[in-house]
């Protein structure tokens, strides 16, 4: 990990900001001269992820240990939680007056753009290894799981690009999603999740009392249905049916079909089961992140029956440095929902947002074990709501159990809930 506190490599926004500010005021000029982006060159370490297939190969060659084909999962589930603990947290924000200049610095865009060619170089290398590398079945599975880490974090790269107004970046978002076959995420996330977040209607918002393993099929199926319905409605407004070349879901899926077919033709059908494995594990990595981002949080209904506006309190946040660098500040999730098109380097820590006990890497691992997850997160959620469990988004099948354990308001409009001892 690169050093990311203080003036990393002397990285500064002063020159870029001054060049674009022109004659805009001495106050802003002075602020630009004083402020330095502490993570400027640390973002390049995120490009280690798409290199994981090559790194795993190098480790196996150097050590002879077949287990190191599994280096991707070892890094994500083992080393990254340790990096988060080691590097600690960073709550610093860029000055508000410099946000637009920070976003205009194209260096940061290239940190995301470069993920894609490295992602696909790694995929092609893995396909060659599956076909011609003489790998055992166990080694091939290990390589597939390492490639899955690239695919899953690649969906996060697609998430960053897909929120932008630039047509090239939106197209690159679909390209990044092709490896995992999860192209409908481009539709559902932007036009579904961001509208319905932290409500019972959102398939991507986890509920109190819902384990990750119960959430997974609900979100995968529900997000697919949501995306198809949203795209069908959009096309209907244009006077078209869903089976058209203008359907963005079909276009995205077509990219995956072409990609997988090309790899199967080039390297043989032996690659197909490993491509399927890396895709499934890759989108499951996305969904476990979705699980922890809004667990149990609920937007309340107003008197007119509509949900209140999304606020910082409706997303779980974290400032652990290692995960934030690898995931392009995804952990500053409240600011992302408040400003969906804001670029990752300008996302801000929000004091009002509920905080996770550690970074996403550690929370992902915790989510895989529901008893441990409930022990850590249910009490934290209750504390966020002052012990009033009725304010949480409760999983309907678990409602009786949740209320029996954590208490229930005596009246719908007031009082205090009985919290578990």
Name the range with the highest mean pLDDT among 6-10, 16-20, 120-124: 120-124
In a domain, 273, yes or no: yes
User: Is the pTM for the entire model greater than 0.85?
Assistant: yes
Q: According to the model, what pLDDT value does residue 194 have? A: 95
Q: What is the token pair recorded at 396?
A: 């309907």
Per-residue pLDDT tens for 188-225?
999 999 999 999 999 999 999 999 999 999 999 999 99
Burial degree of 339 (CB within 10 A; 0-12, 13-18, 19+) = middle
- Look at the chain and count its residues: 421
Is it the case that residue 163 has pLDDT exceeding 70?
yes
The answer to whether position 193 is within a domain reads yes
Q: How far apart are the first and last CA of the chain?
A: 41
Residue among 200, 203, 198, 384 nearest 299 (CA): 198
Mean pLDDT of the chain, nearest integer? 88
Give the pLDDT confidence of 70-110 residue by residue, as tens digits.
999 999 999 999 998 888 888 888 888 888 889 999 999 99
> Is 416 inside a domain boundary?
no
Quick check: is 157 in a domain?
yes
Tell whether 12 is covered by a domain. no
pLDDT value of residue 32: 52
Contact between residue 9 and residue 41 where contact means Cβ atoms under 8 Å apart: yes
- Domain assignment present for residue 55? The answer is yes
Residue 3 maps to a domain: no
Nearest to 7 by CA among 34, 39, 47: 39
Confidence class of residue 33 from pLDDT cuts 50, 70 and 90?
low
Percent of the residues in the chain that have a pLDDT greater than 90, as a whole number: 76
Dihedral of the CA atoms 332, 335, 336, 342 (nearest 10)? -110
Q: Which domain holds residue 341?
A: 44-384
**Bridge-partner residues for 307, per DSSP?**
301
pLDDT score of 24 more than 90: no
Say if residue 13's pLDDT is above 70: no
pLDDT digits (tens, 9 = 90+) for 316-370: 999 998 889 889 999 999 999 999 999 999 999 998 999 999 999 999 999 999 9
Number of domains comprising the chain: 1
Instruction: Give domain status of residue 131, yes or no.
Output: yes
């Amino acid at each position: 990990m690169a050093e990311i506190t203080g003036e990393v490599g002397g990285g500064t926004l002063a020159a870029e900001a001054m060049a674009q500010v022109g004659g805009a005021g001495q106050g802003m000029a002075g602020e630009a001269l004083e402020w330095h982006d502490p993570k400027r060159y640390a973002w390049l370490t995120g490009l280690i992820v798409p290199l994981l297939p090559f790194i795993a190969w190098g480790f196996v060659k150097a050590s002879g240990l077949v287990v190191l084909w599994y280096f991707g999962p070892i890094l994500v589930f083992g080393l990254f939680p340790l990096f988060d603990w080691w590097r600690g947290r960073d709550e610093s924000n860029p000055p508000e007056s410099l946000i637009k200049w920070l976003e205009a610095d194209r260096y940061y865009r290239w940190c995301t753009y470069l993920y894609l060619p490295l992602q696909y170089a790694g995929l092609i290398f893995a396909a060659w290894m599956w076909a011609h590398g003489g790998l055992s079945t166990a080694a091939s599975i290990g390589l597939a799981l390492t490639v899955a880490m690239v695919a899953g974090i690649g969906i996060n790269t697609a998430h960053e690009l897909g929120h932008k107004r630039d047509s090239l970046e939106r197209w690159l978002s679909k390209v990044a999603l092709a490896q995992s076959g999860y192209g409908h995420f481009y539709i559902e996330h932007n036009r579904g999740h961001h509208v319905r977040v932290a409500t019972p209607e959102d398939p991507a918002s986890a509920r109190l009392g819902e384990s990750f393993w119960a959430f997974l099929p609900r979100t995968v199926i529900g997000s697919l249905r949501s995306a198809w319905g949203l795209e069908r409605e959009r096309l209907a407004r244009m006077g078209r049916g869903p089976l058209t070349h203008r359907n963005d879901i079909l276009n995205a899926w077509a990219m995956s079909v072409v990609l997988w077919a090309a790899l199967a033709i080039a390297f043989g059908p032996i690659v197909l089961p490993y491509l399927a494995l890396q895709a499934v594990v890759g989108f499951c990595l996305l969904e476990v992140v979705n699980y922890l981002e809004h667990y149990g949080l609920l937007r309340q209904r107003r008197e007119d029956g509509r949900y209140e506006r999304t606020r910082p309190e409706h997303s779980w946040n974290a400032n652990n440095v290692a995960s934030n660098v690898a995931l392009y500040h995804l952990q500053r999730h409240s600011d992302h929902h408040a400003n969906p098109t804001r670029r990752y380097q300008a996302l801000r820590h929000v004091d009002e947002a509920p905080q996770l006990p550690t970074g996403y890497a550690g929370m992902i691992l915790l989510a895989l074990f529901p008893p441990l997850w409930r022990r850590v997160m249910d009490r934290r959620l209750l504390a966020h709501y002052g012990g009033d469990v009725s304010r949480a988004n409760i999983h309907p099948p678990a409602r009786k159990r949740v209320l029996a354990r954590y208490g229930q308001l005596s009246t719908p409009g007031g009082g205090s809930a009985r919290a578990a001892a």
